[in-house]
């Protein structure tokens, strides 16, 4: 196990795209960690309600506010740091939940076969054709302002089908292997076979898909916030873009328009690059699967 890991790491280090992705990711992780510091220095750097008392409109970068301030004098740099925290939180938790669901459903469908398989895969097909962003929009119009964790949950509930298809295919091929047969003969229960014998074999693939799901979860949350349906209790990059767009500052304040967009794009790029690099290491033949979303 350890040897396999070291070997994979060596392959990863040789992969240019993987190296770029990992470097970017570390930078953003540092930003997320640093987001806890500025409010401790001065309450004026509170990303949500910290206002510089001397400033009442959007100002450009200065020594005091490295990236300038927004329309009511809040510090853009500290908002950017707080946005990194939200992006990681949303991306990783939504991806984790959807991968968990997708792996579980995929394994059950592949292992059980017949009616269960058909029912689950039909459900997957149905959810797969739904545009997630628009679904969340409709839900938030019906149920009012959604909490950030509700948004995460909805994203997870609508993003499992792609993963479950891949895991199901993998399970179908594993089911034919002699070691599963041996486990059955030895009297292992279905639950034991699924969790002890199949899970470890599909886990690398599931982890790979997690990186792609992080990307799509971050994009959906950012787009939602951009349209004005984000959680008003948080500062996310999408929300910063919404503010600059809706308050009509986009032509006057490039220092405000550029950073959040660059951050969203680079963070999704870094997870995507990481995923592609992992894909090449795990199985070069899989390469085209993940690119579709």
Site for another protein in 31-60 (CB under 8 A): none
CB of 48 to another protein, least distance (A): 21
Q: How many residues bind another protein (CB under 8 A)?
A: 49
Site for another protein in 166-185 (CB under 8 A): none
Contact 213, 163 (CB under 8 A): yes
CB of 44 to another protein, least distance (A): 27
β-bridge mates for residue 69, sequence order:
75
Site for another protein in 126-165 (CB under 8 A): 126, 128-134, 137-144
Residue 260 in contact with another protein, rule: CB under 8 A:
yes
- Which one, 48 or 127, has the nearer CB to another protein? 127
- Which one, 5 or 251, has the nearer CB to another protein? 251
Residue 264 in contact with another protein, rule: CB under 8 A:
yes
- Which one, 115 or 292, has the nearer CB to another protein? 292
Binding mask 199-218 for another protein (x = CB under 8 A): ----------------xx--
Q: Residues 112, 169, 227, 282: which binds another protein (CB under 8 A)?
A: 227
Distance CA 260, CA 99 (A): 27
CB of 43 to another protein, least distance (A): 30
Q: Which stretch binds another protein (CB under 8 A): 41-49, 148-156, 184-192, 262-270?
A: 262-270
Q: Residues 32, 86, 223, 277: which binds another protein (CB under 8 A)?
A: 223
* Residues that bind another protein in the complex, under the rule CB under 8 A: 17, 125-126, 128-134, 137-144, 215-216, 219-220, 222-223, 226-229, 241, 245, 250-251, 254, 257, 260-261, 264-265, 268-269, 272-273, 276, 285, 287-288, 291-293
């Amino acid at each position: 196990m350890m040897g396999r890991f070291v070997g994979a790491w060596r392959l990863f280090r040789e992969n240019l795209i993987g190296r770029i992705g990992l470097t970017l990711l570390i930078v953003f992780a540092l930003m997320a960690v640093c987001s806890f510091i500025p409010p401790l220095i001065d309450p004026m750097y509170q990303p949500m309600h910290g206002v510089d008392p001397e400033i009442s409109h959007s100002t450009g970068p200065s020594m005091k506010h490295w990236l300038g301030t927004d329309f009511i004098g809040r510090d853009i740099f500290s908002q950017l740091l707080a946005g990194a925290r939200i992006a990681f939180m949303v991306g990783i938790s939504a991806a984790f939940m959807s991968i968990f669901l997708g792996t579980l459903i995929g394994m059950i469908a592949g292992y059980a076969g017949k009616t269960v398989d058909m029912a689950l895969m039909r459900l997957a097909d149905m959810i797969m054709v739904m545009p997630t962003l628009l679904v969340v929009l409709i839900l938030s119009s019906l149920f009012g302002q959604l909490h950030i964790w509700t948004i995460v949950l909805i994203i997870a509930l609508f993003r499992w089908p792609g993963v479950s298809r891949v895991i199901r295919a993998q399970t179908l091929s594993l089911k034919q292997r002699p070691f599963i047969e041996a486990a059955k003969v030895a009297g292992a229960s279905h639950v034991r076979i699924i969790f002890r014998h199949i899970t470890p074999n599909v886990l690398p693939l599931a982890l790979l898909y997690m990186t792609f799901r992080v990307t799509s979860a971050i994009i959906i949350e950012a787009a939602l916030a951009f349209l004005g349906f984000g959680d008003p209790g948080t500062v996310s990059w999408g929300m910063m873009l919404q503010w600059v767009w809706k308050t009509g500052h986009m032509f006057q304040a490039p220092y405000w328009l550029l950073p959040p967009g660059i951050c969203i794009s680079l963070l999704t790029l870094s997870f995507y690059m990481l995923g592609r690099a992992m894909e090449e290491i795990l199985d070069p033949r899989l390469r085209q699967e993940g690119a579709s979303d």
